[in-house]
Amino acid sequence: MGGGSGDSAPSDSGNAATGSEAVVPAASAAPAAAASSAPPALVDNTPAAPEPVAPWVAAAQSRQKIPYWAIPVLAMLPIWAAVYMLTLDTPTPTELGAYEAGAEVYNNKGCSGCHGGAGAGNGNNPALIGPTGATKVFTVPANQITWIALGSAGYKEAGLETYGDADVVLPIGGGMPGWIDSLTAEEIMDAVLHERSALNDEEFSVEMWRDGFEEDLSALLPADKVAEFTAVLDDWEADPPAPAA
């Protein structure tokens, strides 16, 4: 009896346990089945639309950028422009003084070809220094100007057979050209100054040149030419010629 009752009790608990285990899994499986049968949620992968860009920002972003190396070049442009404009200016000519201009006329416009660079003469052409020097033949500068302006032909047309105004009076040959039409009054005056000062060491004196200047010129030269020579002497009186240093 004791053995039989012992066997039946475990059997009941075992059955009870079995029944309990059968119910629990059935209850937990229902939600799982429901979850697996639900359709999957849709995922939106479309990128968000960009915010609109202002027109001036878009223009700034799209325009071509200046290379870094070009910045100093652009900065120097005003300086280069100024230098270029200065090079377009007409160069200011260097103005020669009367002494330098006289040497230029004497050496480059025909005088030295006949009378020599130092005034010593050449063949039949008389010297401008020594016994026939310019200051000995022409004690009055105005008479030397007249001789250079008219030459041999002009003097002969005026009925003269000699030239000179002092102890030295020379016959008129035929080789002295007249320069009144090929040299300006200033060029002739400059050449006379050179011959009297540089070649014969006469010191310039506006008083000596002025004494009887217009009267002596007017004896053979037309009034308009006398006025031109007188204007040059007026300039010399206001600003006396000075030898080059």
Nearest 5 degrees, angle CA 118-CA 121-CA 123?
145
- Position 14 scores a pLDDT of 44
Q: What is the pLDDT of residue 6?
A: 46
Low-confidence ranges of the chain (pLDDT < 50): 1-29, 33-34
Cβ–Cβ contacts within 10 Å for residue 102, how many? Answer: 27
pLDDT at 175: 86
pLDDT attached to residue 168: 83
The predicted structure's pLDDT at residue 81: 80
**What pLDDT score was predicted for residue 23?**
46
Q: How far apart are CA 242 and CA 97, in angstroms?
A: 7
pLDDT recorded at residue 20: 43
Domains recognised in the chain with CATH numbers: 98-238 (1.10.760)
pLDDT at 24: 46
Question: Under a CB-based contact definition with an 8 Å cutoff, are residues 178 and 151 in contact?
Answer: yes
